[in-house]
Amino acid sequence: MNQLLWKKICLNGTENGQKEFQNSCTDADTVAFRYLPLSNGYACYVSATCAEGFVGEDSITLQPKIAETSEYVAIVNHSPFWCSPFFGKRLSELPKRVQELIIYNGDKYICYLPVCDATFKTLIRGCEGGFEFFLYSNYDGLVRCDDQLAFVCMEGEDPLVLVHDCAQAVAELLGNGLALRETKKTADIFNYLGWCSWNAFMIHVDHKGLLEKAKEFREKGVPIRWAIIDDMWANVPPLDQIPKGGDFGQMIETMHQSKLYHFEGAPGRFPNGMRGAITELKQAGIPQVGVWFPTTGYWAGLDPEGEEAKRHAENVVITEQATFLKDQSSVAVAPNEEKASHFFDDLCSRVKEWGGDFVKIDNQGYHHIYRNITPIGQSARAIQRAIDYATNKHFDGALINCMGMPSECMFNRTSTVSRCSDDFVPESREWFAKNILQCSYNGLLQGQYYVNDWDMWWTDDDQAVKNSLCRAISGGPVYVSDMLGRTKPEIFEPLILSDGRIIRCDESATPTADCIIGDPTQSGKIFKIRNRIGKNGLAAVFNIDAQNRPVSGELSPTQTGVAKGDYVYYEYFSGECGVLKEGESLSVTLQHNDDFRLYTFVPYNQNGVTVIGRLDLFMGVGAVKSWDGETASFVEGGKIGFYSEQEIKIYANGTEAPACKHGMLSIVCVETQQKQLQVMT
């Protein structure tokens, strides 16, 4: 594809008068470009010099010559920590901090993926007459930008293939350990059902409450296999001044203004320390426990007079501001890989000594506080490498990254699991629509590199079944934050095997290709989230219309990312099933926001029987281990379905198993605890 032609180039906000931009940078106040051809696109590297020194986010701006009117979706870093989709038709209306831009021109898609390289970070924003790239380092006074990878641009007919190819190209070009999700191993802990203390307890999290919740799970027969002791556990004195039943906003404000005194449990709430709490939590039936902490120690850093600041005096720096406090300095971990490694190694080793099995490290998108201390590419690489080093050393990579969606974090991390949305808000239909958009569209970028974590939820929420379905198809961990006494065990039944294992999809869920462009809350169309398990496709279909109107649309197997061909389809909630020949699709209408569907597509066996899998599980097709035309093996027995257009008999251990028709007449269902069945026609 053709390289962009530049309409305007500015240094420090002032237009560069040079008419022909060079391939090399030799003089003061010049810009140079190096283009590397890629399959269906190219990578653009930028070099520049500025004798007076680059300043602020307008250090280098590049406005291409491009038509302003184009239908697009942008992945926007809407806060220092999170991303969300933005839909539009005029490029000049793009928000300020775009991390990926996908443009549809009628027959092809173009993807621009800006990058954070070793020193400079590139983003996209709208400007008069179109959009522009802007490069900055977060370190005023640098006089050179040396051959920094600014962005990758590719075009293609399938946007899902396109974003994957762009992500792969960036990983290869950066050469810093960044890797695609499909090459990574997920810690076994996250293959099971979990629970988090945050929405359950918040400031009231304590030893006693944790044990009460573990007892409830045990009595209700819910196989929770891991728990996170989340925010508010630590020795942060101002937290103890927050009254019970106080205003939520005031609690959050106090949190964000507070600093860590000592990396140990708050004495009043954890009288036996964190070791005592974790030990008893495991004895109460939750075998693996993780501990939350932020990169900054606590939200506003370390208390200068506290135990941690003294303990890590050689590993910290004083910044001009704390993460949430613009007018207050902060004691934070130094943006130096060796010092940061000492810091995170120490914290993780103490969690390990308490009996902890993993950590959740929050507040990762905080690098703005290192302004004029270290360039953003260097600070991010140092911190992310230090986090990955410490968690690999102590927990074999069992880590949930959180609040780390800005590109400096995303492009410098080697670990596997990362949150992809703002915090869960219980009992809110509006939040559900926001969350499903954030998480699925963030699969287009972050999900290419990481197992996307869609966050916790409640089983007694009005949105509980929809939330559970989203987590099932997400390809990420599944965990709740139920309050005391409020867990509904039946909500878990479609999600897990008997031992608490989840059946994980192969990818991070994304919208189907035809849903990527255009706002699903306004389009009048069904919103489809896709994933796959092996050669089998999965689609969760929702109505998220902002006016709660009926929506309609078409759904085909190939929209889920599987190969062309004939497929048996099965809809979980209605039992509807049938065969779709290649090129055929289903017409789906959803009447209101609480109307939703789950479709499984299994390659059709024209000469015999098609095994659909467990009909009682959302991701039941993943329970099928093997099928050779005569013998089917399963991870676990249960309500198992076969599609056949002729009479079949099913045998378990040589004895015919009672079978019944399920839904449409071609589904034969058998309930058995056997893991291996023989099928005879």
Per-residue pLDDT tens over the stretch 409-425: 999 999 999 999 999 99
| Cα separation, 390 vs 392, whole angstroms | 5
Q: Would the CATH topology of 192-492 be identical to that of 520-604?
A: no
Per-residue pLDDT tens over the stretch 646-661: 888 899 888 888 888 7
Q: Inform me whether the pLDDT recorded for 18 exceeds 90.
A: no
The phi and psi torsions of 611 (rounded to 5 degrees) equal: -90, 120
Quote the tokens at residue 194: 């979990």
Q: What pLDDT does residue 19 have?
A: 43
Q: Inform me whether the pLDDT recorded for 23 exceeds 80.
A: no
Per-residue pLDDT tens over the stretch 573-583: 999 999 999 99
The arithmetic mean of pLDDT across residues 582-589, rounded, is: 98
Rounded alpha-carbon distances, angstroms, from residue 412 to 116, 151, 166, 365, 507: 8, 15, 16, 12, 20
**Higher pLDDT among residues 555 and 661, named by residue:** 555
Per DSSP, the three-state class of 436 is helix
Q: What pLDDT does residue 27 have?
A: 66
First to last CA, the chain: 54
Q: What pLDDT does residue 645 have?
A: 85
Count Cα neighbours of 601 within 13 Å in the Cβ-side half-sphere: 27
| 3-state SS, one letter per residue, for 616-670 | CCCCHHHHEEEECCCEEEECCCEEEEEECCCCCEEEECCEECCEEECCCCCEEEE
What band does 65 get if pLDDT is binned at 50, 70 and 90?
very high
- Enumerate the domain spans of the chain: 6-175, 192-492, 520-604, 607-681
Per-residue pLDDT tens over the stretch 77-107: 999 999 999 999 999 999 999 999 999 998 8
Q: Average model confidence (pLDDT) for the chain?
A: 95
Per-residue pLDDT tens over the stretch 389-405: 999 999 999 999 999 99
What band does 432 get if pLDDT is binned at 50, 70 and 90?
very high
Per-residue pLDDT tens over the stretch 102-153: 999 988 999 999 999 999 999 999 999 999 999 999 999 999 999 999 999 9
Q: Inform me whether the pLDDT recorded for 68 exceeds 50.
A: yes
What band does 22 get if pLDDT is binned at 50, 70 and 90?
low
Task: Write the DSSP symbol of residue 200.
Answer: H
Handedness of CA 340, 342, 346, 352 (dihedral sign): positive
Per-residue pLDDT tens over the stretch 201-211: 998 999 999 99
Whole-prediction pTM: 0.96
Q: Inform me whether the pLDDT recorded for 17 exceeds 70.
A: no
Per-residue pLDDT tens over the stretch 165-203: 999 999 999 999 999 999 999 999 999 999 999 999 998
Quote the tokens at residue 277: 């709490």
Rounded alpha-carbon distances, angstroms, from residue 339 to 182, 390, 551: 31, 12, 55
Topology given in CATH for the domain delimited by 520-604: Immunoglobulin-like (2.60.40)
The arithmetic mean of pLDDT across residues 35-51, rounded, is: 96
Topology given in CATH for the domain delimited by 192-492: TIM Barrel (3.20.20)
Cβ(224)–Cβ(195) below 8 Å: yes
The arithmetic mean of pLDDT across residues 256-284, rounded, is: 97
Q: Inform me whether the pLDDT recorded for 665 exceeds 60.
A: no
Residue 552: other Cβ atoms inside 10 A: 13
**DSSP-assigned beta bridge partners for residue 669:** 641, 660
Q: What pLDDT does residue 302 have?
A: 97
Handedness of CA 442, 64, 69, 127 (dihedral sign): positive
Cβ(42)–Cβ(53) below 8 Å: no
Percent of the chain with pLDDT over 70: 98
The arithmetic mean of pLDDT across residues 306-334, rounded, is: 92
The arithmetic mean of pLDDT across residues 296-317, rounded, is: 97
For the chain, the farthest-separated pair of C-alpha atoms sits apart, in whole angstroms, at 85
H helical segments located in 61-158: none
Cβ(481)–Cβ(424) below 8 Å: yes
- 268: buried, middle or exposed (CB in 10 Å: 19+, 13-18, 0-12)? exposed
Residue whose C-alpha is closest to residue 293's, from 305, 284, 302, 285: 302
| Cα separation, 56 vs 42, whole angstroms | 27
Per DSSP, the three-state class of 333 is strand
